Chains A and B, each alone.
Chain A
Amino acid sequence: EIQMTQSPSTLSASLGDRVTITCRASQSINNYLAWYQQKPGKAPKLLIYKASNLENAVPSRFSGSGSGTEFTLTISSLQPDDFATYYCQQYNSFSPPLTFGGGTKVEIK
């Protein structure tokens, strides 16, 4: 099973800050990495797929990068709507299980 480790688990930031979240895989997953945003009481929302591809209608301040085992999600200028929990997910090798990172909660500083 491929383990996904996110850091930090909590992040305090101010409006307008540049925010970076890291996700590390226990083995190479090529670019098969997705990022989701989840707000309290809501389902997750896909932001990024295949490591760096922006999902339709997702603001361009979100970006993803990385390959192999290390990936990052960057928010270029934090907006009020961005305070949420973010998860990474790997889907490499098309074999189960699919696995998620533990999540990063972005809080208001």
Chain B
Amino acid sequence: DVQLVDSGGGLVQPGGSLRLSCAASGFSFSVYAMSWVRQAPGKGLEWVSAMSGSGTDTYYADSVKGRFTISRDNSNNMLYLQMSSLRAEDTAIYYCARAEYQLLSCFDYWGQGTLVTVSS
């Protein structure tokens, strides 16, 4: 079965950094593009970043461009999101999600989410 397990969230001060991880299993990880999607408390969904299966292509939302970096380790079936210069408005549950069929697509599998809280 396809499984995505998100981890790495926590409390961080404004201006701080955090790295999120997503462990994938049950499918050929390197074949699939992956994304990060976030959800602020009580709010809707916001796409954050996407990476192709090979890792050669990446996209970012304007709200995180220059502050967040997506990466992946296909040998270990891991997806990462390095977040820096964090702001209060980055507080959210962060989900990794598998692209259904291409880099920028809908998402057929999601992790359980990891909560990032940016506060002093």
Contacts and interface: CB of A to CB of B under 8 A. Distances in A.
A88 B85 CA distance: 30
B61 A100 contact: no
Interface of B: 35, 44-47, 50, 59-62, 95, 100, 102-108, 110-113
A89 B45 contact: yes
Pick the 7 closest A-B CB pairs, nearest first.
A34-B106, A43-B110, A98-B47, A96-B59, A100-B45, A103-B44, A94-B104
A6 B62 CA distance: 22
A101 B44 contact: yes
A35 to B, nearest CB: 9
A14 interface: no
Interface string A95-109: 111111111000000
Interface of A: 34, 36, 42-46, 49, 55, 87, 89, 91, 94-103
B106 A97 contact: no
A32 B118 CA distance: 34
A23 B50 CA distance: 24
A97 B100 contact: no
B91 to A, nearest CB: 17
B104 A91 contact: yes
B110 A44 contact: yes
A46 B107 contact: yes
A98 B50 CA distance: 10
9 contacts: A34-B100, A43-B112, A44-B95, A45-B110, A49-B100, A91-B106, A97-B59, A98-B35, A101-B44
B50 A96 contact: yes
Contacts of B44: 87, 100-103
Given A43-B113, A55-B108, A89-B45, A97 B62 contact: yes
Contacts of A42: 112
